């Protein structure tokens, strides 16, 4: 799926369909900002060949940033980063057994040389990964830059408009 007819510029990938509940928040932000993106399930351990192919072909297909979410022993973001020079933003999905601490450490603790930009566990991380991906594109895309500025201004205004938390 792409958000528009335009070719995807951000790849939102996840290790399992069960990650969608978290990762849809990244896709929603990208939709709101008008960033063309695609959404794919690519599992490091169930579909390793697909993972390699996805990472190897991403640059040639016009992808500029990859947002990758995974839970548990979350190899996906690191393995994608190992196979592409594109920026990879990792979202630790909240696991049942360890509440996402396993996912967080698996994604954040990359050895020096292959970076993964790691976000917060769960929804906040997915939202921020979408925003960060848009920020990268906004460096050389004034339309996305404007959409990002408007998003932030609206967010600020909504706090200012409701100063009383009981209202
Ligand atoms: C990881 O294992 C996925 O990223 C998911 O968070 C976790 C559990 O996957 P399922 O068993 O729900 O498919 O690969």
User: In the chain, what are the domains?
Assistant: 10-161 (3.40.50.1970)
Q: Does ligand 1 have an atom closer than 6 angstroms to the CB of 15?
A: yes
As a whole number, the mean pLDDT across the chain is 96
**Atom nearest to 69 CA in ligand 1:** 4
Region class of 27: left (phi > 0), else alpha (psi between -120 and 50), else beta: alpha
Mean pLDDT in residue range 16-25: 98
For residue 12, report the distance from its CA to the centre of ligand 1, in Å: 15
pTM, entire model: 0.96
Three-state SS across 11-60?
EEEECCHHHHHHHHHHHHHHHHCCCCEEEEECCCCCCHHHHHHHHHHHCC
For residue 38, report the distance from its CA to the centre of ligand 1, in Å: 20
pLDDT of 110 reads: 98
How far is residue 141's CA from residue 72's CA, in Å, rounded to a whole number? 35
- Beta bridge partners, 10, equal 37, 65
How far is residue 9's CA from residue 4's CA, in Å, rounded to a whole number? 11
Mean pLDDT in residue range 108-134: 98
The predicted-structure confidence for 38-78, as pLDDT tens digits, reads as follows 999 999 999 999 999 999 999 999 999 999 999 999 999 99
The predicted-structure confidence for 74-99, as pLDDT tens digits, reads as follows 999 999 999 999 999 999 999 999 99
Neighbours of 19 (CB within 10 A): 24
pLDDT of 130 reads: 99
Is the ipTM value over 0.90, yes or no?
yes
Indicate if the pLDDT at residue 1 is higher than 50. Answer: no
pLDDT of 5 reads: 78
Mean pLDDT in residue range 128-146: 98
Length of the chain: 167
């Amino acid at each position: 799926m792409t958000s528009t007819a335009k070719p995807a510029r951000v790849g939102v990938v996840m290790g399992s369909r069960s990650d969608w509940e978290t990762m849809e928040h990244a896709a929603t932000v990208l939709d709101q900002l008008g960033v063309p993106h695609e959404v794919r399930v690519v599992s490091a351990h169930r579909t390793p060949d697909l993972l390699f192919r996805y990472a190897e072909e991403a640059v040639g297909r016009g992808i500029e940033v990859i947002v990758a979410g995974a839970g548990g022993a979350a190899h996906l973001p690191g393995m994608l980063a190992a196979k592409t020079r594109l920026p990879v933003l990792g979202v630790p999905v909240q696991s049942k057994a360890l509440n996402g601490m396993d996912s967080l450490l698996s994604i954040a603790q990359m050895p020096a040389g292959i970076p993964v930009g790691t976000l917060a566990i769960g929804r906040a991380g997915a939202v921020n990964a979408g925003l960060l991906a848009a920020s990268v594109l906004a460096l050389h895309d004034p339309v996305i830059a404007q959409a990002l500025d408007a998003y932030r201004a609206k967010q600020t205004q909504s706090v200012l408009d409701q100063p009383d938390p009981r209202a």
